[in-house]
Amino acid sequence: MGSREQVEKILESVDVKINGSRAWDLKVHNDKFFSRVLGGGSLALGESYMDEWWDCDRLDGFFSRFLDGKLDEKIRSNKILIFNILKAKLFNMQNKRRAYEVGKKHYDVGNKMYKRMLDKRMVYSCGYWKNAKTLDKAQKNKLELICKKVGLKKGMKVLDIGCGWGSFAKFASEKYGVKVVGVTISKEQAKLAKEICNGLNVDIRLQDYRSLNEKFDRIISIGMFEHVGVKNYKEYMRVVERCLNDDGLFLLHTIGGNKSVESTDPWISKYIFPNSMLPSIRQIAEASEGLFVMEDWHSFGNNYDKTLMRWHKNFNNFWDEIKKDYDLRFKRMWDYYLLACAGGFRCGKLRLWQIVFSKNGVKNGYKSIR
């Protein structure tokens, strides 16, 4: 059986056709695509799309079917997979020296682009779409939800690990009157976050979380744990434990996976989030055991599908304004990233969790907020 026939047979199992007429069918422009994908797995699938070897009217629809049918496991390259696993086992890919790589690769690609793609507060994490019709409202809902879950009160000192462009810090400082310390490993994020939070009781730092050693009433981390890595999960929790007051609360907002892994998708690692890794329930539980009491676990990954689709719409609506700073290959890479992730959340391959921890248990019990 030739490479084309092999790929066609694999895709037929999830109702995807080559050169079919439906929105999720693939349009192949280069016949070398089939052997390239069979030999190179998900990395080759993404790179061949960036190289314009194939197209799809609805990449999100294709990936929802692709991932739901576990086709990523059927076409993955064993050589690449084994290399990534060995690399993760032998080296700490998220140590202090490497921690800044994702900042340079992803978050420093241009504040101008992110300003147009994201909501008005520049929140680069899952929105909360309960009673929301716009991206701005969904992100405001999420920030408010976090503040309520940790019970913010005026005068508290709050740590934001992975503060992004300062959206939470600004919101919490303005609305709740708290002092916020935000840390990020992105120079561009830190620069803009300082401007956004100018005049507020907010301290933005270009700093690795492992260097923190001061006390806080509340600690939150939104969309940063995905960059920590399994070798550092326990250390991360120890840092949070030493920095959190005994009666404090810690909220962890993270994307998660259904299985415990030690490496990430090779295309995502190479082009989007270097050295990233999605934690599992077991990995988070093991890392936090002996340090924290789990008070609440909220799962709402379906909200990320909608968030990603809005980001993709904004990105394309404003492409003409920013395209002079990028090339077509970058655009195709970004389309692929946003829509593949949307498909992953849609089929349940990817999860989104908000977890609330205490040190010794909340007196009289923790009240869950949704």
Provide the residue-wise pLDDT of the chain in tens; the chain has 370 residues.
799 999 999 999 999 999 999 999 999 999 999 999 998 999 999 999 999 999 999 999 999 999 999 888 776 544 444 444 444 444 454 455 554 554 554 666 778 899 999 999 999 999 999 999 999 999 999 999 999 999 999 999 999 999 999 999 999 999 999 999 999 999 989 999 999 999 999 999 999 999 999 999 999 999 999 999 999 999 999 999 999 999 999 999 999 999 998 878 899 989 998 878 999 999 999 999 999 999 999 999 999 999 999 999 999 999 999 999 999 999 999 999 999 999 999 999 999 999 999 999 999 999 999 9
Residues 110 and 31 occupy one common structural domain: no
Residues acting as catalytic residues: 341
- Is residue 164 in a domain? yes
What distance in Å separates the CA atoms of residue 100 and residue 261, rounded to the nearest whole number?
Answer: 22
Residues 55 and 166 occupy one common structural domain: no
Residues 164 and 230 occupy one common structural domain: yes
Residue 162 backbone zone (phi > 0: left; psi -120 to 50: alpha; other: beta)? left
- Is residue 87 in a domain? no
8-16: long-range contacts, CB 8 A cutoff, minimum separation 24: 10/71, 10/74, 10/75, 11/71, 13/69, 13/71, 14/65, 14/66, 14/68, 14/69, 14/71, 15/65, 16/62, 16/65, 16/66
Structural domain boundaries enclosing 14: 3-76
Residues 170 and 45 occupy one common structural domain: no
Residues 15 and 134 occupy one common structural domain: no
Residues 191 and 309 occupy one common structural domain: yes
- Is residue 369 in a domain? no
- Is residue 105 in a domain? yes
Q: Which of 109, 94, 130, 69 shows the shortest CA–CA distance to 334?
A: 109
Q: What is the pTM of this model?
A: 0.91
Final residue in a domain of this structure, among 76, 110, 134 = 76
Burial annotation 140-176 (CB, 10 A radius, 16+ → b, else e)? bbbbebbbebbbbeeebbbbbbbbbbbbbbbbbbeeb
Count how many domains the chain has: 2
- Is residue 239 in a domain? yes
What was the pLDDT predicted at 81? 43
- Is residue 347 in a domain? yes
Residues 137 and 247 occupy one common structural domain: yes
Residues 30 and 160 occupy one common structural domain: no
Residues 198 and 128 occupy one common structural domain: yes
- Is residue 282 in a domain? yes
Output the domain CATH number for residue 207.
3.40.50.150
Final residue in a domain of this structure, among 46, 76, 106 = 76
- Is residue 108 in a domain? yes
What was the pLDDT predicted at 92? 54
Residues 347 and 200 occupy one common structural domain: yes
Residues 158 and 249 occupy one common structural domain: yes
Residues 53 and 181 occupy one common structural domain: no
